Structure 1
Amino acid sequence: MNDAGGYINFTTEFLSRQNTLRPGFSWRKGYGSAGVDGFNFMINSSLPINDKTEIYAFGGRNYRDTDAYAFSRDSFDDGDNRAVPSLYPNGFTPRITSNITDVSVSVGVRHEMENGWNLDFNNTFGKNNFHYYIKDSNNASMQDSSPTDFDAGGHFLSQNTTGIDFNKYLDDVASGLSLAFGFEYRTENFGIFSGEEASYGLYDDNGVIITNPAVQNVATDSNGDELPGGSQGFPGYSPDNAVDRSRTNYGIYFDTELNVSEAFMVAGAVRFENYSDFGNTFNGKLATRLKLNDYFSLRGSISTGFRAPSLAQLYYNLKFTNIVAGTSVPSLLSANNSTVTKAFGIGQLSEEKAFNTSIGFTFKKGGFSATVDAYSINVDDRIILTDNFTDQAILGPLNVDAAQFFANGVDTKTNGLDIVLGYDFNVGDNGKIKTALIGNFNDLKIKSINNGDLNEFTFFGPFSQAYLKAAAPDYKFGLNLGYSCNKFNVTTTLTQFSEVTLQDFQWVDSPATTQAEADALFPVATDIYEAALVVDLSLGYEVSDKVKFSLGANNLFNTYPTPQFDGWTDQGGLADSVQMGSDGTYVFARLNFSL
């Protein structure tokens, strides 16, 4: 770019992927992965000013147009008054489409000072915008005048971070000392914007949106039952849901690494952060490595950490239709700062706090390498989404029958083991074989449920507990086998998934409120997904230095999770989103080229 060098790289990606449909025996269900059309553009650049100073910038824009199916609605004749008979005489499956835009840009300068310190000053901005459009749906309370497509509104999140970092390496202290410190200032902004009135409105018999329930009556069907409002599949955000909230935080850190000798290293770091909405945190880390010989090293660490509640967890709110005790009911996901949340005894969200330890070893000799690390992660005040509360003394005036909240609900402990083994060797004059075994063992336990005076089964029952535990499966192993010779290569990956146990929707259909009721549900409401093996295969050929072609298949043998009764699974398919997912075999051909 100039006499001192520099570069600018552009990367673009076009993506078009149709929905996958795995509805089981019900032809109308749209269960499967969402369709996506997207365009991504990224830029990465650097401009040296001189041999001491460099200006850099990177960023881009990602756009995705997604198309997913909601739960199916039966016809009115089959007893489902969510379907307008004149629009959908046989019932319908709403589609939740969305336009998702991500924009980011980062600009900074790096400078090597005369005293040996390196400086990096940077500003990074990013924003995500999520806009929902509901199609092939209706607002049942509008009856025959209902539209079938709705602008449901959406939400956005932006962050701007300014930071300055200093680092220096002192080779004359012991066997080398690295020092680093810095300061960071961040602003965040989260908002919800409303959709069109028909997407969220509840209408009376005259087709007028209900603003005064005391004098207006909800539209009813021919059986005299009230008709639900809002677009089916995903109700729109109303002006009452709209929020625009911001916060700031700053952090200061210091990091050092000392090579006491060629064989022994110790490192430490501390970080202080202040958040405008919940206060201060102070965290640190100690780590060490001992090299016993040229091949074998021991290592370990101990640290504390935190995760601040996101602005979405603090302020997201929505009225929607949920299944409670086997019935579709108007429900509320209540913002953390609302009077409703406080009335149920849910406290203000605070940060999750973690205490972590690990110990392990590394080994490398010839073509063989191994790393094994055991770890323990304790997380207190973990943020969860509660189950459904139904106290009508609080919820009745809001015209909803159930409510959920984000809360610092559980304390967990996870013990685990990470294993990475590799062995590379040559075959003949030009052949190379690379093998790698990557494995993980996990044991996640819920130490306590922080339900206070609230009923534990209503606050965070077995159904939700099972999903939390399933996020850390007992084990997962992957064996990668690769062979290359001249311009040809082949790669095979075998992935072994552990058994996963979930609790199905019977817990929501017939909620347990006592241990005796829970004990009766466990034998009939437990879904077991058996351990499974998935095989991926890829063949590649290097046409030239700039053109490469590959052909392959993921999940070559079309393996699926263990089928369950789709009337009780959480997502309405023959299996929930566990293990390898429900898409089955994916065959691909790729042509990569560089200019």
Structure 2
Amino acid sequence: MNKTFFTFIFTLVSCFCFAQSFKVSGRITDEKGDPLIGASVIEKGTSNGTTTDGNGAYTLSVSSASSVIVATYVGYNRIEKAISGSGEQNLVLENATVLNQVTVVGSRNLNRSSTDTPAPVDVIDIREITTKQGQLDVNQLLQFAAPSFNSNRQTGSDGADHVDPASLRGLGPDQTLVLINGKRRHQSSLVNLFGTRGRGNTGTDLNAIPAAAIERIEILRDGASAQYGSDAIAGVINIVLKETVNQLSANVNAGMYKAKYRYDDKQFDGLNYNANLNYGIKIANKGFLNVTADYNFRDHTNRANTVSSEADLARRQYGDPKINNAAVYYNAKVPIGTNFQVYSFGGLNKRKGDAYAWTRFADDERNIPSIYPNGFDPIIASTIDDRSFAFGVRGIWKGWDIDLSNTYGFNKFHFNVKNSLNRSLGPLSQTTFDAGGFQLGQNVNNLNVTKYYKTILQGLNLAFGAEYRTEQYKIFAGERASYYNYDPTYPGGSQGFPGYSPTDVTDRSRSNVGVYLDVEADVTKKFLVDAAVRYENYSDFGSTVNGKVGLRYKVTDAFSLRGTVSTGFRAPSLAQKYFNSTFTNFVNGTPVEVLLANNESAVTQALGIPKLKQETSQNASVGFTLAPASGLSVTVDGYYVKVKDRVVLTGQFSDEDEQIGDLLKQLRVGKAQFFTNALSYTTTKGIDVIVAHTTPLGVGRLSSTLAANFNWMELGPVNTSPKLAGKEDIYFDERERRFVLASAPPSKINLTLDYSVDKFSFMLRFIRFGEIKLANWDYELDVYKPRIQTDVTLNYKVSKNFSLSVGGSNIFNVYPDLSLPALTESGGAWDPVQMGSNGAFIFTRLGFRF
């Protein structure tokens, strides 16, 4: 089958035999006459294009002598020019003005492009990847587009089933800072707990932002706490919203998974579909309002049927949760005079989810046969409200670029439990419960000031600013029947997800203030130096100072060396400090009540657990960029990140423990665990490699990209309290260590081949996920060997206004290695690893543009 498949690809690429009829060439430079290396040159209305070489030169075969070419470069104004029969087109791109300046993460210099920064920055065109991928949400789009980014679909993980944890370079989800249009994005109120990557972390919900509202995503793969503040240990993701006007775009996407493991004879399940609209209008001369509406539906998948009999099952339902996700987002700028503008952006997201919990079989002591004669599968239903709004004014005053803004963000989880019961209520128990939930609010006031001095050295950029941030975290209780035990001889609370009780209720807040100074100097035309320092003070744990120095040296126009060193920090989230709950965990298939006690509880005090403190980091990176030939670019970056006092979720102490056993028995729980700075340090080393090539091939153009991340992590000794000395294996045991080590596969390699000719384009992609090892409940290693996923997409531009895409992700229906369901954290034959466990996904997409 593979031989036939590759023969088909070769035939498709090479079978066309007519040539495009006109060749145009020239140079792309900036206003100073310096070449812009890697600038994009595209024939308008087509996917036919190229990039400039080390001298800023390009050559492009276009369809006719009357074609229009479009030149773009990050940080510069776009140019469209009709070639009018001339084969030589030299274009000069101007620096973007204050009203249409392009944000580039990783540099405060408004004249700096992404390829000029001392640290690696990926710029991902969302329109390009959504056209050629089957994934519909931002997390999954990035999972298969950026090797250093990892996000796994969760199942059997309570709230994490509804929000996919995501991370950069194998670090924690809360160690990556997310920005929108350069402004800090609020985190989710959820703490990841069971069977998840990023266990014990609070991340950012990227899926609350519709892909249809995004122009591009910039990923800074480098520590940036000195530049942007807390959470930027692993890097920064900057989401840039659309600014298009007078153009209506709409997309309809649909797809299903091909089932391999099911009880019944169904061949497909997990229907996904998405519909979105985007439109922008002009305001005044250079202002705009761009609005996006988006709706995404995802149905359940079921991959529980992996064992020989029901007796060996842990769960009858195992797979993706059902999700209804709706969002409205906007982006707006309004000029005030010639030098100032008012801007605003943000949106609303509402998500409803149904996720299956572990099965209660008919003979389970937690079942009431008169209610469920065949047992039951509890459903954890979530309602997630997420909103964010930013308002600001920006302008130029006496040569200074000044940006003053306020950004507000809010995230709320409200849980309901369906198809359940409270065993202690007996046969009269209700089957639906309001289980309560939690929420997080964040407000940020931000001032950024920058000025570029052309006459100092070869250009010097001075930036400074301040930020004041407040946060508030709340836990609210569910109805009494969701958490109360009415008969001590039976377990109480709603089965599948016990509700939050009045003793869990929390209302906590904090504030912090930060100031920074950032200087970038082009010492010569070849040598760039960047230095930043930042001071922050938190109301709940004190002050921190961090710095960063970056260097970039252009050995030639085609070859540059770059590197950075920095320190970083991450303040423990309010959820990590104050979250507490009682839940049911399954150990070898046996239910156990577990108390997750907050940092100030009687249980943590009895064990002498210290107050949480900030994580600190030391970061270093070194690499090079190379453009050895026209259409070919290579970047290689090695990195080192050492995180001290890493906050994690401990292992579970039992009610037999001599220190807290009696206390746990009084609380009617079998085990307890906590958040603590348990790891003295983690050390992450890795290499990112990206090779991109574009060339004419036959009648069309072939673009090839090889992108790879290689990652190694080591864990240091365990920090324990004096009362727990000698219990390091419980405090942070082998299972917990393996969860941290499995935050990313040791390697992820992506090879993408994209061939376009006339109205057709064909994308073939191979993604290799490295081996993952997790410890099961018997403390044996479940080894998930390397896997290769194959994706194919065919796109046809029906007309100027319509395009059609069909394709498949994981077309050979590859799955991870099987494990024993009762021994995994999730209760399925796989924990959430590698490419996921749903199998092949077949999709189609129809795009409209007017």
TM-score scaled by structure 2? 0.64
Is this contact kept in 1: 2:587–2:823, CA < 8 A? Answer: no
Three-state SS of the structure 1 residue aligned to 2:609 is coil
Q: Which whole-Å CA distance do the structure 1 matches of 2:466 and 2:442 have between them?
A: 16
Query: C-alpha offsets along residues 364-406 of structure 1, whole Å, 9 cap, x if unaligned?
Result: 1311101101111000111110111123133222222211100
2:506 aligned with 1:243: yes
Cα distance change of structure 1 residues 545 and 280 upon mapping to structure 2, 3 Å threshold: farther
Q: Which whole-Å CA distance do the structure 1 matches of 2:585 and 2:838 have between them?
A: 26
Q: Which residue of 1 aligns with 2:597?
A: 334
Q: Which amino acid aligns with 1:543?
A: V
Q: Aligned ranges for residues 189-268 of structure 1 at < 5 Å?
A: 189-204=472-487, 218=488, 226-268=489-531
Q: Which whole-Å CA distance do the structure 1 matches of 2:600 and 2:591 have between them?
A: 26
Query: C-alpha offsets along residues 312-342 of structure 1, whole Å, 9 cap, x if unaligned?
Result: 1011110112245874232210111222212
2:378 to 87, 94, 107: 94
Give, in angstroms, the shift of residue 564 of structure 1: 1.1
Give, in angstroms, the shift of residue 572 of structure 1: 1.0
Q: Which residue of 1 aligns with 2:195?
A: none
Give, in angstroms, the shift of residue 2 of structure 1: 4.6
2:319 aligned with 1:38: no
Q: Which residue of 2 aligns with 1:512?
A: none
Query: C-alpha offsets along residues 13-45 of structure 1, whole Å, 9 cap, x if unaligned?
Result: 111110111002348621111111111110111
1:64 to 351, 368, 377: 351
Cα distance change of structure 1 residues 545 and 110 upon mapping to structure 2, 3 Å threshold: farther
Is this contact kept in 2: 1:434–1:481, CA < 8 A? Answer: yes
Q: Which residue of 1 aligns with 2:735?
A: 463
2:714 aligned with 1:433: no
The structure in which a higher percent of residues are strand is 1
Query: C-alpha offsets along residues 439-491 of structure 1, whole Å, 9 cap, x if unaligned?
Result: 01111000221124420111011111111101132111000110111221111
2:583 aligned with 1:320: yes
Give, in angstroms, the shift of residue 47 of structure 1: 0.5
Three-state SS of the structure 2 residue aligned to 1:292 is strand
Q: Aligned ranges for residues 483-502 of structure 1 at < 5 Å?
A: 483-502=755-774
Is this contact kept in 2: 1:444–1:472, CA < 8 A? Answer: no
Cα distance change of structure 1 residues 325 and 404 upon mapping to structure 2, 3 Å threshold: farther
Q: Which residue of 2 aligns with 1:374?
A: 638
Q: Which whole-Å CA distance do the structure 2 matches of 1:576 and 1:324 have between them?
A: 15
Q: Which whole-Å CA distance do the structure 1 matches of 2:474 and 2:561 have between them?
A: 48
Three-state SS of the structure 2 residue aligned to 1:567 is helix
1:15 to 296, 320, 323: 296
Is this contact kept in 2: 1:288–1:299, CA < 8 A? Answer: yes
Q: Which residue of 2 aligns with 1:146?
A: 429
Q: Which whole-Å CA distance do the structure 2 matches of 1:18 and 1:3 have between them?
A: 44
Cα distance change of structure 1 residues 504 and 325 upon mapping to structure 2, 3 Å threshold: closer
Q: Which amino acid aligns with 2:354?
A: D
Three-state SS of the structure 2 residue aligned to 1:144 is helix
Is this contact kept in 2: 1:466–1:502, CA < 8 A? Answer: yes
Is this contact kept in 2: 1:4–1:49, CA < 8 A? Answer: no
Is this contact kept in 2: 1:201–1:230, CA < 8 A? Answer: yes
Q: Which whole-Å CA distance do the structure 1 matches of 2:732 and 2:343 have between them?
A: 48
Give, in angstroms, the shift of residue 145 of structure 1: 1.0
Q: Aligned ranges for residues 149-548 of structure 1 at < 5 Å?
A: 149-204=432-487, 218=488, 226-323=489-586, 327-364=590-627, 365-390=629-654, 391=657, 392-410=661-679, 411-429=681-699, 431-453=700-722, 454=724, 455-507=727-779, 525-548=780-803
Q: Which amino acid aligns with 2:328?
A: F
Q: Which whole-Å CA distance do the structure 2 matches of 1:165 and 1:280 have between them?
A: 21
Q: Any gaps of 5 or more consecutive residues in structure 2?
A: 1-281
Three-state SS of the structure 2 residue aligned to 1:314 is helix
Query: C-alpha offsets along residues 95-122 of structure 1, whole Å, 9 cap, x if unaligned?
Result: 11101111110111111012x1100011
2:286 aligned with 1:5: yes
Query: C-alpha offsets along residues 186-245 of structure 1, whole Å, 9 cap, x if unaligned?
Result: 1101101111111111003xxxxxxxxxxxxx2xxxxxxx21000011000111111111
Cα distance change of structure 1 residues 173 and 428 upon mapping to structure 2, 3 Å threshold: same
Three-state SS of the structure 2 residue aligned to 1:506 is coil
Runs of 4+, deviation exceeding 6 Å: none
Q: How many residues were matched structurally?
A: 553
Identify which range, 541-550 or 318-327, moves more after superposition: 318-327
Q: Any gaps of 5 or more consecutive residues in structure 1?
A: 205-217, 219-225, 508-524
Q: Which amino acid aligns with 2:288?
A: Y
Three-state SS of the structure 2 residue aligned to 1:337 is coil
Q: Which amino acid aligns with 1:340?
A: V
Q: Which amino acid aligns with 2:621?
A: S
Give, in angstroms, the shift of residue 346 of structure 1: 1.2
Q: Which residue of 1 aligns with 2:849?
A: 594
Three-state SS of the structure 2 residue aligned to 1:495 is strand
Alignment RMSD (CA, Å): 1.3
Query: C-alpha offsets along residues 296-318 of structure 1, whole Å, 9 cap, x if unaligned?
Result: 11111100001111111011110
Q: Which whole-Å CA distance do the structure 2 matches of 1:351 and 1:232 have between them?
A: 36
Is this contact kept in 2: 1:343–1:394, CA < 8 A? Answer: no
Is this contact kept in 1: 2:588–2:823, CA < 8 A? Answer: no
Q: Which whole-Å CA distance do the structure 2 matches of 1:493 and 1:90 have between them?
A: 45
Q: Which whole-Å CA distance do the structure 1 matches of 2:648 and 2:561 have between them?
A: 36
Q: Which whole-Å CA distance do the structure 1 matches of 2:743 and 2:327 have between them?
A: 29
Q: Which amino acid aligns with 1:533?
A: I
2:361 to 59, 74, 77: 74
Q: Which amino acid aligns with 1:361?
A: F
Q: Which whole-Å CA distance do the structure 2 matches of 1:396 and 1:465 have between them?
A: 28
Q: Which amino acid aligns with 2:775?
A: Q
TM-score scaled by structure 1? 0.91
Is this contact kept in 2: 1:195–1:237, CA < 8 A? Answer: yes
Q: Which whole-Å CA distance do the structure 2 matches of 1:10 and 1:541 have between them?
A: 27
Q: Which whole-Å CA distance do the structure 2 matches of 1:445 and 1:185 have between them?
A: 35
Q: Which amino acid aligns with 1:536?
A: D
Give, in angstroms, the shift of residue 594 of structure 1: 3.4
2:820 to 549, 553, 565: 565
Query: C-alpha offsets along residues 131-166 of structure 1, whole Å, 9 cap, x if unaligned?
Result: 111111111000101111111111111101010100
Is this contact kept in 2: 1:354–1:379, CA < 8 A? Answer: yes
Is this contact kept in 1: 2:613–2:677, CA < 8 A? Answer: yes
Give, in angstroms, the shift of residue 68 of structure 1: 0.7
Q: Which whole-Å CA distance do the structure 2 matches of 1:190 and 1:546 have between them?
A: 47
2:837 aligned with 1:582: yes
Identify which range, 137-146 or 67-76, moves more after superposition: 67-76
